Amino acid sequence: MRDRRRIPRIISLLQKIWEQQHDVRFNQLISNLQSQYSLLNDNYGKKEIDSNRGTYLDLFFLEDDKWELFLEDYWREIEEELKKEEAKITDEVINEVINLFLEAGIKQESLDDKVSNNIRRFYLVESRWLTTEAITDLIKNFSNEDRLQLFYKINQGL
């Protein structure tokens, strides 16, 4: 009999991973994860249709404990990447964005600690896809109107 407690553990891991890739559809996420699992495990589950039509993945017999360990490792890699990027989100970066908002016409009194914290959160979310430097460069290249729109989104906590 399989351990029922595996279900919320695996679902929780999938949720955390998916939240870092929120623009990906669920089945894309699962397909990508299965491909990654297969690649890291000597092409486990890879089946050939025939020599002309290619291959497909069949993870039907993969035990949950192995899948769970893979998801834990995958999540750990995401966390490590996020921590590296988080270290780059310095006060200087936050102040640079605040200055770009000032240039766009936002009043100084609107730029409080809450906005600074929201900018930091914005960078954390977006750093899954772009480096801190790339995000800052994008904001620098925004028009003032685009900066205003970003400010309002950040101010609302995204």
Q: What is the mean pLDDT of residues 96-121?
A: 94
Nearest-angstrom CA–CA distance, 149 and 131:
21
Nearest-angstrom CA–CA distance, 49 and 66:
25
pLDDT score, position 158: 65
Residue 142 reports pLDDT greater than 80: yes
Nearest-angstrom CA–CA distance, 10 and 37:
15
Residue 120 and residue 94 in contact, taking contact as beta carbons nearer than 8 Å: yes
pLDDT tens digits, residue range 64-83?
A: 999 999 999 999 999 998 88
pLDDT score, position 112: 92
* Three-class DSSP category at 57: strand
Nearest-angstrom CA–CA distance, 64 and 102:
52
**Confidence category of residue 18, pLDDT binned at 50, 70, 90:** very high
- Name the amino acid, one letter, at 58: D
pLDDT tens digits, residue range 113-136?
A: 999 999 999 998 888 778 899 999
Q: What is the mean pLDDT of residues 29-55?
A: 94
What is the pTM (predicted TM-score) of this model? 0.74
Helix locations, the chain, DSSP H: 6-19, 26-40, 64-88, 91-103, 113-126, 132-141, 144-155
